[in-house]
Structure 1
Amino acid sequence: MKIRAKTMEHLQLEALLPRLHPTHKKWSEVESHLLRHSAGHFGETTADVYLQYLSHDRYHILQDLRLFDGIRHFQIDALILAPSFILILEIKNLRGKLIFDLEHHQLLRTYQKKQDIFPDPFLQVKHQTLQLTRWMQAFQLPETPIHSFIIIANPNTTIKTQGRDMQQLKRRIIRPKLLYSEVEKLHARSGPPIWTPDQIKHAAVTLQRENTPFTASILQRFDLTAADLVMGVRCTKCEVFGMERKRAHWYCPQCEHKSENAHLDTLRDYQLLVGNEISNQEFRSFACLSSEKVARTLLSECCTRYAGKTSDRKYILNIVK
């Protein structure tokens, strides 16, 4: 089972927030989105710790799927393929006190004397089941029972349920530590195998091939342009922008730290925030670098591909893969 990577949007938010001045009107909104993504990723990796104990011969586990059902895209935090069933995992990492209001189809969260209302996770996985069924039919995969669990990743979160079907649904709300035993219980009470080992492998390969991670301009999403960003090379020690290029090193006037390759993080930010192609002039502007020759040397060292002649050359960034 592979280590779960951060989503592209998560990486973009991590690059964007430090390059917005704290007084910028969009700073709080970007910070809120980043905190949500960070909490979600932490919760998912917490669940992954216990998923890795499941038999690799019996189960195939896929993470962070984004598939197209013929109408729209849908996302699944984790999907388990088993010989006689499929299991959808919806992972929540919420602090405080949770009340699953099953009658009014909402999730209530009380934290630090504040109450928030979230969409009903059971309705969410019900719709995901419909979408996954449509997707499987489109790829002519065997009809298979699809189950779902709601995983509450934070061990300090209290959980209550209220409303109809409470006993039936509350059994599907579990802690990460119970994942192994609950999946094995589900396997034990399931019918005979529907998938052969080869069919499971084929389905897993198809799911991975058809997975289309969300990619979009993070600047456009928040109605920003490059002019809103803080320019310069960020110190790898004190994290202040404004490193200067001196004698083949980057020098920080703030803490006097020196670095040979601090520009790589700057190019990574550019790739995440602006695009995969960068010219000499664009690099100099983004890194606050005056020398065209130094910029050309640095770009040539880290970019093996480029397009165009010397005067209008665009270097292809491949730092974020």
Structure 2
Amino acid sequence: MDNQHIAPLEAGKDYPTNWNEFLDWFGSEEACLAFLERLRWPEGFVCPGCGSVGAPYRSSRVRLMCRDCARQTTVTAGTIFDKTRTPLRVWLAAAWYLTNQKQDVSALGLQRVLGLGSYETAWAMLHRFRRAMVRPERERLKGLVEVDETYLALTDRENPISAVGRKSNTSKVLVAIAVELHEPKGFGRIRLRRIDNDAESCVVPFVQDSIEPGAQVRTDGSAAYRSLTDLGYAHQRRVMLGSDTPAHVSMAGVHRVAALIKRWMLGTHHGSVQPEHLDAYLDEFVFRFNRRTSNSRGLLFYRLLQQAMQTEPFTYADVVKKAPRKSSGR
């Protein structure tokens, strides 16, 4: 559908604008289900089995049955809320809190705000929402884009409860950074990725996944980026060795973002993030940074839940298992 035919979302009509409105909107599980159903099927119910479009038979307040193939489903089946035992009112309150905080949110903070009995519940909820913070169809960066890498020092004690009595290990993890630069000043969107090393085999795929061909890509003098011109990018190399211009001046964008990531990691999480979970935290950092100028927290809440309803299930077991390094773009 062409964007010009899509009616713009209206604050207070399509989503709450403040906490009092939130409480009015979501006073019951039925109200939460109705809102999520609208997000999942904005044009009306579509059977996940046969693809039939039409009003379903409602066998209960939760279960929907296709009138054509008789398949039963639920509003939350196949989403990050699939088979959850946590009330939807709590899930939506968590989404509201997550999107209404200017800074990052810790699992301990979420547990306290929502009155959750388990730290692990809050921790897993945050990880599921982080899973939904990446739109698969999002546009790649354009214009002038700086690219570099930075090391993050991580302590392997993300969960303070499970870490009791266990020795912590600190490791350094390499993260690739891409930052849009605005003229005459300012930054646009960013992309981040955990990578194994700074070799061409790692940094070039990151550039290709993150930046549109034809864009100007500014890097340091590393030979790892030498193939960018052949791949359709306008490559600008800035050799730092022996230069009179400090690196934080000649590559201001990536150095600024790197400093913010390290401050965020130490401030909210005290550096206590398991390396295999870093990808999820980077997703949240990108989500927040790219929406830092938004004046509508309610719209961010709407967008996060909209994406959550299109994101496949991600169970607690999926969260805690050792995750392999990602090879695709962010």
Task: Mark yes or no: TM-score above 0.5.
Answer: no
Pair member with larger Rg:
1
Judging by fraction of residues, say which structure has more strand.
1
Q: TM-score, normalised on structure 1?
A: 0.28
